[in-house]
């Protein structure tokens, strides 16, 4: 047999129990054998010692008289009379002095032992010299002759020993020594041991036979239980063990059957749970895949409702959203389409439902048979027996409500309700997104209105500044024209005028009139609106020059009138093109120049510069005025923030910031108190250029005709007379 087969055999329960039983029985057999042998030897030795002692006592009584009278022949006869006693191998009669006077021995060794006398050593020493011999001694006591005869008769009559009848204080006159062989005792012990061993072997054989029968009864149910366990491991949970008894094995079979039934039920439950989980997972994936494409509540509801019905098996799904009236819910969408359960779209639910969902944070399962709300009565009337209310939390106001209705009374267990709650989050997100979009659109519209208002306010401010400057400029122009006209008139009246003086005065009047026309042109350019102007290539250098001229009355004329000196330096050149609305850029730099002028109450210098760097045009306005601290600089773009008191609107810089942002630009400010302020505007460069208008050809001269009349119409008499 192979070692592996032997090792496998020792792992079997039957073999291990058999080996254990055999080892136990063998151990008990050895112990029993040793006990039987010991007890048998002790009993036989005691029996041999008792017989030998009785023989020694009897011989001592018969040897009393011959020893007293010194009758050696009688002593020899007495000793020979016990020679045929079994197991006696030596016998000796000794005097009080230890001299052997009679006796015999079976061997020379025993004879030598008798010659040593009874005082030759202790019993242990004698046993060591004769290991298979047992020595017994009996004293010979002396008695009076008169008493001795009667005493012997009494002893022979009652069978008593000498010690029992001898009077107290009888002297010891000798000793009888009997040596018996223990060989027959050992043979008897060995025979008894072999018989005991045979009995034990027979008992062991019978025990093995009984064990074989018992082990079959015990192991068979265990083997069947093991087979059942293996089949359970392989997935066969339908097999059961037969219960044949009410003992531990029967209880084991019942336990195994109970375990198999529980595992089968658990497998069925796990299978159902896995199927439900698979369905829920497919529903989540389907909704997530489609919900990415839309955020409209109606479209998300059309995605969620079929999947919710698939997961729960319900027959109807409805979505109620907060109504127009505060604290109400209105049915917005139904699946299947309305009407179902006498419910219709835009129908307002009773306030009890609103109060019920507003007081909880999770789903509520409603047994319609025991509920008395209007919704429950409506659903119950159409055959529904259970409903699930899932609140959908919104940002503000009462939550929306997802309603599920089923005709099964035990519908919507907790695990399905939790899945529905998870799926309903898509509806919550869609409703919140719709509200946010609505709020965002409203906010954007409000921002547009605010921006228009701010732009208009800024334009009005700049227009007011320009109106003041233009009025001052026109006053200067008109003053120059009027002064020259009055001077010419006085000279003509006195006859003191020369033609050269007339021509000089007329040149001055003509140049002043041209400056007035340029002022009007700049004013018309500033007045163009967004509807009239579109994004076009604009030269930043020209914009800076126009802004400088627009603001000249402020930083030049008004400053000089106030006794101040404000100078403007321009470091720029043509060809810095950007895409912009010209009037909006002029407004930005006009505001910046006016702010710089306001920041220099003691006069100073304003430096304008523009250059191209890394694909952008950098235009800056820098002054050496009062400057700003960090707090003012951080807030300077806030609408309505101003440091000018009632004379300022707080809109100029916020409007400028908005214009720059709309043009894809950036605006940066650096300032320190007492060291002036620098504002830099960065705009992307464009390669486009303005479209040149085609040159107009001069019209052909008219053919010669007769006299003609020209009609001149104007609302100003002076202009009409001049043109005529």
Domains and CATH numbers, the chain: 69-184 (3.30.450), 280-435 (3.30.450.40), 534-690 (3.30.565.10)
Residue 162 is predicted with a pLDDT of 45
Residue 531 is predicted with a pLDDT of 45
Residue 116 is predicted with a pLDDT of 78
The token pair at 385 is 């027996």
The contacts of residue 202 (CB under 8 Å, 6+ apart) are none
pLDDT over 90 (residue 594): no
Report pTM: 0.38
pLDDT over 90 (residue 87): no
Highest mean pLDDT among 532-546, 644-658, 708-722: 532-546
Query: Which of 45-49, 172-176, 276-280, 407-411 has the least mean pLDDT?
Result: 276-280
Q: Note the pLDDT tens digit of each residue in 113-139.
A: 888 776 544 455 555 666 778 888 889
Quick one: average pLDDT of 141-162?
A: 49
pLDDT top residue among 627 and 487: 627
SS3 percent helix, strand, coil of the chain, rounded to 5, is: 55, 15, 25
What integer best gives the mean pLDDT of the chain? 76
Q: Note the pLDDT tens digit of each residue in 159-193.
A: 444 444 445 457 888 889 888 888 888 888 888 77
Residue 121 is predicted with a pLDDT of 47
In terms of DSSP bridges, do strands 100-105 and 133-141 run parallel, antiparallel, or are they unpaired?
unpaired
Q: Note the pLDDT tens digit of each residue in 434-462.
A: 777 777 888 888 877 877 776 666 666 65
pLDDT over 60 (residue 155): no
Q: Note the pLDDT tens digit of each residue in 611-654.
A: 999 999 999 999 999 899 988 888 888 877 777 766 666 677 88
Find the largest Cα–Cα distance for the chain: 227
Residue 623 is predicted with a pLDDT of 93
Alpha helices, DSSP H only, in 496-606? Answer: 499-526, 540-550, 552, 559-561, 582-598
pLDDT band at 682 (very low <50, low <70, confident <90, very high): very high
Residue 577 is predicted with a pLDDT of 95
Residue 113, number of CB atoms within 10 A of its CB: 22
Q: What strand order describes the sheet that includes 100-105?
A: 100-105, 88-95, 172-181, 133-141
Q: How far apart are CA 503 and CA 355, in angstroms?
A: 96
Residue 161 is predicted with a pLDDT of 46
Residue 461 is predicted with a pLDDT of 62
Cα 333 → chain centroid: 37
Return the H-helix or E-strand segment holding 187.
helix 183-233
Quick one: average pLDDT of 483-502?
A: 76
Quick one: average pLDDT of 53-58?
A: 89
Q: Note the pLDDT tens digit of each residue in 228-279.
A: 777 777 777 677 777 766 766 677 777 777 877 787 777 777 777 666 667 7
Quick one: average pLDDT of 133-158?
A: 61
Q: How far apart are CA 245 and CA 40, in angstroms?
A: 46
pLDDT top residue among 317 and 21: 317
Residue 712 is predicted with a pLDDT of 66
Q: Note the pLDDT tens digit of each residue in 350-382.
A: 777 777 776 666 788 888 888 878 888 888 888
pLDDT top residue among 457 and 698: 457
Query: Which of 19-28, 115-124, 133-142, 592-601 has the least mean pLDDT?
Result: 115-124
Q: How far apart are CA 92 and CA 175, in angstroms?
A: 8
Residue 609 is predicted with a pLDDT of 95
Residue 553 is predicted with a pLDDT of 72
């Amino acid at each position: 047999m192979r070692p592996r087969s032997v090792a496998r055999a020792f792992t079997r329960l039957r073999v291990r129990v058999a080996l254990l039983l055999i080892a136990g029985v063998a151990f008990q057999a050895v112990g029993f054998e040793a006990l039987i042998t010991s007890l048998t030897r002790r009993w036989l030795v005691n029996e041999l010692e008792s017989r030998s002692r009785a023989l020694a006592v009897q011989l001592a009584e018969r040897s009393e008289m011959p020893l007293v009278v010194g009758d050696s022949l009688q002593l020899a006869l007495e000793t020979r009379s016990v020679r045929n006693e079994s197991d006696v191998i030596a016998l000796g009669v000794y005097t009080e002095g230890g001299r052997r006077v009679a006796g015999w021995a079976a061997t020379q060794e025993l004879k030598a032992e008798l010659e040593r006398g009874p005082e030759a050593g202790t019993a242990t020493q004698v046993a060591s010299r004769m290991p298979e011999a047992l020595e017994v001694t009996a004293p010979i006591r002396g008695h009076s002759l008169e008493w001795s005869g009667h005493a012997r008769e009494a002893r022979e009559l009652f069978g008593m020993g000498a010690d029992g009848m001898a009077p107290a204080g009888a002297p010891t006159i000798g000793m009888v020594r009997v040596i018996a062989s223990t060989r027959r005792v050992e043979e008897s012990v060995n025979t008894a041991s072999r018989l005991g061993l045979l009995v034990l072997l027979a008992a062991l054989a019978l025990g093995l036979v009984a064990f074989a029968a018992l082990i079959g009864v015990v192991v068979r149910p265990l083997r069947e239980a093991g087979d059942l366990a293996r089949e359970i491991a392989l997935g066969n949970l339908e097999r059961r063990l037969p219960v044949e008894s009410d003992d531990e094995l029967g209880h084991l079979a019942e336990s195994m059957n109970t375990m198999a039934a529980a595992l089968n039920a658990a497998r069925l439950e796990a299978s159902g749970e896995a199927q439900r989980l698979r369905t829920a997972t497919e529903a989540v994936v389907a909704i997530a895949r489609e919900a990415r494409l839309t955020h409209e509540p109606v479209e998300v509801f059309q995605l969620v409702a079929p999947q919710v019905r698939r997961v729960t098996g319900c027959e109807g799904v409805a979505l109620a959203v907060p109504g127009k009236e505060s604290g109400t819910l209105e049915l917005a969408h139904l699946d299947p389409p309305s009407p179902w359960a006498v419910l219709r779209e835009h129908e307002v639910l009773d306030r009890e439902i609103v109060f019920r969902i507003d007081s909880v944070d999770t789903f509520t399962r409603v047994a319609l048979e025991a509920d008395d709300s209007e919704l429950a009565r409506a659903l119950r009337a159409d055959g529904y027996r259970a409903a699930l209310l899932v609140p959908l939390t919104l940002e503000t106001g009462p939550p929306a409500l997802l309603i599920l209705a089923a005709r099964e009374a035990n519908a919507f267990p907790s695990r399905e309700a939790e899945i529905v709650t998870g799926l309903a989050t898509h509806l919550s997100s869609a409703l919140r997104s719709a509200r946010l979009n609505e709020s965002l659109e409203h906010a954007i519209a409000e921002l547009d209105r605010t921006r228009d208002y701010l732009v208009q306010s800024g334009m009005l401010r700049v227009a007011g500044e320009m109106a003041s400057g233009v009025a001052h400029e026109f006053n200067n122009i008109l003053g120059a024209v009027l002064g020259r006209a009055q001077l010419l008139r006085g000279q003509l009246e006195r006859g003191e005028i020369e033609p050269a003086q007339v021509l000089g005065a007329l040149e001055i009047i003509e140049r002043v009139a041209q400056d007035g026309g340029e002022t009007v042109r700049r004013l018309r350019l500033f007045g163009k609106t967004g509807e009239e102007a579109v994004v076009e290539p604009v030269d930043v250098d020209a914009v800076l020059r126009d802004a400088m001229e627009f603001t000249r009355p402020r930083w030049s004329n008004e400053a000089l009138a106030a006794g101040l000196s404000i100078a403007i330096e321009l470091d720029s050149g043509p060809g810095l093109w950007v895409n912009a609305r010209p009037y909006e850029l002029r407004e930005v730099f006009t505001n910046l120049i006016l702010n710089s002028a306001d920041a220099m109450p003691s006069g100073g210098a304003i430096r304008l510069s523009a250059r191209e760097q890394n694909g952008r045009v950098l235009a800056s306005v820098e002054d050496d005025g009062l400057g700003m601290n960090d707090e003012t600089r951080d807030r300077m773009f806030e609408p309505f923030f101003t440091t000018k008191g009632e004379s300022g609107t707080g809109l100029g810089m916020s409007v400028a910031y908005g214009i720059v942002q709309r043009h894809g630009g950036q605006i940066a400010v650096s300032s320190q108190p007492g060291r002036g302020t620098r504002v830099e505007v960065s705009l992307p460069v464009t390669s486009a250029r303005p479209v040149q208008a085609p040159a107009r050809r001069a019209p052909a001269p008219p053919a010669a005709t007769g006299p003609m009349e020209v009609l001149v119409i104007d609302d100003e008499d002076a202009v009409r007379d001049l043109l005529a």
